Amino acid sequence: MGTYAGGFQGFVDDLAAHLREMGVTIHLGTPVERIAFTDAGLTVTVDGEAVPADQVLSTTSPGLMRRLTPDLPPAYAKQLADLKSIGALSMILALDRPLMTDGTYWLNLPAAHTDKTANPFPYLALVEHTNYQDPAHYGGDHIVYLGDYLAPDHPHFALSDEAIADLYLPSLQRVRPDFSREWIRDWWVFRAPYTQPVPTLNHSQNIPPIRTGLPGVYLANMSQVYPWDRGTNYAVEIGRQAAALMLADGPPE
């Protein structure tokens, strides 16, 4: 088992640099507003302008795909609507010293109540990443991750960063009684309403295919990973499957 130097951001930066060397143009800060196939062909709308496209591969969540592509075949749109998922809320701490001095890397935390504020720890996982990777990779900081899975409409998503800090940080004294906020060199809160598919009964029969049924439009995301849990290796696998289909199909007539 290994980890990429620089983490996922380092991996993405290196991948982007390699793609640019191959002549690929990457448009950042360019939100897509609509994907459509009309008599004029396939278009992607950006800033109100419909840009022609030969093919489109979307890697968004199922819900966002439905909103971006209202012309999807009804049966395919229903497949997307029927998929279940949960979101994630995480807080990252950069400390000036270790939190778990015994070298513990990962703690799965008890949750006796559905009301998270009633639990000793109002989140599900406490991970001291630098008990696995040397702090030298992070400027000498000790990196601690406090992570939770939540329903997309959970009220914690609406809390401010400061409110999350006030909710999460007191619990760290249960791990190390002398913990002090003065140890924190920096901190960040991240929210994502779609982070983990939740398979239900007969999920294998409800997985949407990569071909959406709208000419030239394809979908590849973690809801199609089955029966395994989502992971980078399976993302690569689905990416290769999507690329093979797109090459085989070619642009729509």
Q: What secondary structure letter does DSSP report for 39?
A: T
Taking only the tens place, the pLDDT of each residue in 6-63 is 888 999 999 999 999 999 999 999 999 999 998 889 999 999 999 999 999 999 999 9
Taking only the tens place, the pLDDT of each residue in 165-190 is 999 999 999 999 999 999 999 999 99
Asked if pLDDT for residue 121 goes beyond 70, the answer is yes
Q: What secondary structure letter does DSSP report for 116?
A: G
CA pair distance 50, 42, nearest whole angstrom: 9
Query: Residue 137 in contact with residue 125, Cβ under 8 Å?
Result: no
- Of 149, 138, 109, the C-alpha closest to 125 is 109
- Banded pLDDT at 195 (limits 50, 70, 90): very high
SS3 letters across 91-140:
EEEEECCCCCCCCCCEEECCCCCCCHHHCCCCCCEEEEHHHCCCHHHHCC
Taking only the tens place, the pLDDT of each residue in 55-95 is 999 999 999 999 999 999 999 999 999 999 999 999 999 99
Amino acid at 215: P
Question: What is the CB neighbour count within 10 angstroms for residue 44?
Answer: 19
CA pair distance 45, 54, nearest whole angstrom: 14
H or E element, residue 148: strand 142-150
CA pair distance 150, 141, nearest whole angstrom: 28
Average pLDDT estimate for 96-105 = 97
Asked if pLDDT for residue 101 goes beyond 90, the answer is yes
What is the value of pTM for the model shown? 0.89
- Banded pLDDT at 112 (limits 50, 70, 90): confident
- Banded pLDDT at 1 (limits 50, 70, 90): low
Q: Token digits for 61?
A: 């969540």
Place of tokens 């990973």: 225
What pLDDT, on a 0 to 100 scale, did the predictor assign at position 4? 85
Average pLDDT estimate for 213-226 = 95
Asked if pLDDT for residue 145 goes beyond 80, the answer is yes
CA pair distance 19, 183, nearest whole angstrom: 40
Number of H helices, E strands in the chain: 5, 10
What pLDDT, on a 0 to 100 scale, did the predictor assign at position 228? 87
- Of 156, 174, 90, the C-alpha closest to 127 is 90
List, in order of start, the domains of the chain with CATH numbers. 54-77+200-249 (no CATH), 85-197 (3.90.660.20)
Residues 6+ apart with CB under 8 A from 33: 45, 46, 47, 48, 68
- The alpha-helical segments, DSSP class H, found in the chain are 7-21, 62-68, 74-82, 161-168, 232-249
